[in-house]
Structures are given as structure tokens and as C-alpha cells.
């Protein structure tokens, strides 16, 4: 942006528009001064990487990248908002500790343009939607307390369905449900197997698993089209 304005000011001068060129040069100087003041003292930027969908009780990784974009060193203090209620940390770097759902970093010093990566392993104990919105607290080179926010990330924790549980569900269903016909029972079994393939093998979300067309149920579930589509305009 500054380079473009410089070219623009040069073009104005060539056209004899000295006052307009001066306005552009003054604006460039102002922006340079603002940038110098912004990056003169320690300033931390942060980025969080985490899977948007996880399985309850299954360990996953959270990665928080921190960088000091200034010319002076700063000191990391802690990170809040990274561990929501219902989330359990299973491992973290040796220079960090979990204190009241905050990650305390033992006064980690960050030099100019230095990068620090914090990798945490955690599990969600219950299914649901969790909001991760970390706030990084640090002290700059003037010993002033500062903080920077990370963009909100929503993580969905889904229940775990093992093959044994699905087979148990099918057996229970066969015991509790009275199927109208053998064709209905075949269609039911086929759709349960389809859900198992989608959710367990392909790792699709629950709401996207197990969906099949009538033709797929008929062909792959060995159910006649008569039962699926019906006759004379009547539903199957």
C-alpha cells in the first residue's frame, strides 16, 4: 500500500500537482510512524489449529502458534479460553502447566520475531458444541501487561459408536422391533450397516451417515423394488 502511494505521489509531481503529491507523502509518513510505534514494543500474534469435529473420549491435538512481531522482546504469561468446561488436558509441554483451566507458561521470554508453538493433547468427556476463543496474556518490554485474542473456533464432540455397540444395537432392535416383513428387516439392517461404514470407516458426522437412496436400498439390501416403490401410485 505504501509503495503504491509512493508511485502515485511521484506521478502527481510529474504532472505538476505538487500539493496533491504532498498530501500523499504526508499520509505515507503517518502510516510509517504508526507502524513503527506498533511494532517498536513487544507485540504477540497467535493462531490456533484444531480439528472442528472430534470423538468423545478420543484424544486430539490442539496447536497454538505464537509469534512476537516486534523489535523488542516480551514475556508470555498465560492463555485463557483454550480449555472449555468438559475438556480434559492429557499432555502439554514441560514449560507449561494447567491452572484453573488456564495454560500458564512460566514467564516464557519471546525475542524479536521469535515463534513459540504450544501443542496440547486433550479429550472431551461429553458430546456437544464447544467454543474455543483463547486470549494470550503477555508483558511487553516496558513491563506493561498486554493481551491478544485468537479468532473463535467451534469444535463439535460426537459420541463414539464402536462396531460392537452397533452390532448390539441391531441385536436389541431385532428383539424389540416387530418387523412387518422380511423386506423391512433387510432394509433396516442395510441402513444400519451403511451408517457403520460412513461414521466409523469414513469418519463422516452422524447426521451425514447412513443415508441411501431407495434404489441403493433395493439393489444392495436385496429388497425388491415392489417393497421400496409400491404399485399403482401407492407408497412402498
Class of domain 44-158: mainly beta
Domain map (residue ranges) of the chain: 2-40, 44-158, 163-229
Are the beta carbons of 109 and 68 closer than 8 angstroms?
no
Cα 83 from Cα 89, distance rounded (Å): 8
| DSSP classification of residue 198 | I
Q: Per residue of the chain (236 residues), give pLDDT as tens.
A: 656 666 666 776 777 877 877 777 777 666 766 665 566 677 899 999 999 989 888 999 999 999 998 888 999 999 999 999 999 999 999 889 998 889 998 888 999 889 999 999 999 999 899 999 999 999 998 889 999 999 999 999 988 765 556 555 655 555 556 666 777 778 888 888 888 787 777 777 777 888 888 888 888 878 777 777 766 555 55
Specify which residues 63 forms β-bridges with: 49, 119
Q: How many of the other CB atoms lie within 10 Å of CB of 177?
A: 11
Sign of CA dihedral 21, 26, 32, 34: negative
Are the beta carbons of 89 and 120 closer than 8 angstroms?
yes
Amino acid at each position: 500500500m505504501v509503495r503504491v502511494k509512493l508511485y502515485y505521489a511521484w506521478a502527481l509531481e510529474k504532472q505538476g500537482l505538487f500539493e496533491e503529491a504532498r498530501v500523499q507523502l504526508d499520509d505515507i509518513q503517518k502510516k510509517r510512524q504508526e507502524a513503527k510505534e506498533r511494532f517498536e514494543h513487544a507485540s504477540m500474534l497467535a493462531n490456533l489449529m484444531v480439528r472442528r469435529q472430534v470423538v468423545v473420549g478420543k484424544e486430539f491435538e490442539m496447536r497454538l502458534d505464537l509469534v512476537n512481531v516486534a523489535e523488542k522482546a516480551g514475556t508470555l504469561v498465560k492463555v485463557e479460553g483454550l480449555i472449555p468446561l468438559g475438556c480434559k488436558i492429557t499432555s502439554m509441554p514441560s514449560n507449561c502447566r494447567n491452572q484453573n483451566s488456564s495454560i500458564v507458561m512460566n514467564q516464557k521470554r519471546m525475542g524479536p520475531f521469535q515463534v513459540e508453538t504450544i501443542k496440547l493433547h486433550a479429550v472431551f468427556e461429553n458430546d456437544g458444541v464447544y467454543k474455543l476463543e483463547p486470549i494470550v496474556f503477555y508483558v511487553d518490554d516496558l513491563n506493561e501487561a498486554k493481551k491478544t485474542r485468537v479468532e473463535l473456533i467451534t469444535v463439535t464432540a460426537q459420541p463414539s459408536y464402536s462396531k460392537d455397540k452397533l452390532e448390539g444395537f441391531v441385536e436389541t432392535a431385532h428383539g424389540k422391533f416387530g418387523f412387518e416383513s422380511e423386506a423391512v428387516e433387510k432394509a433396516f439392517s442395510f441402513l444400519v450397516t451403511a451408517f457403520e461404514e460412513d461414521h466409523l470407516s469414513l469418519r463422516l458426522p452422524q447426521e451425514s451417515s447412513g443415508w441411501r437412496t431407495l434404489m441403493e436400498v433395493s439393489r444392495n439390501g436385496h429388497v425388491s423394488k415392489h417393497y421400496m416403490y409400491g404399485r399403482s401410485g401407492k407408497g412402498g
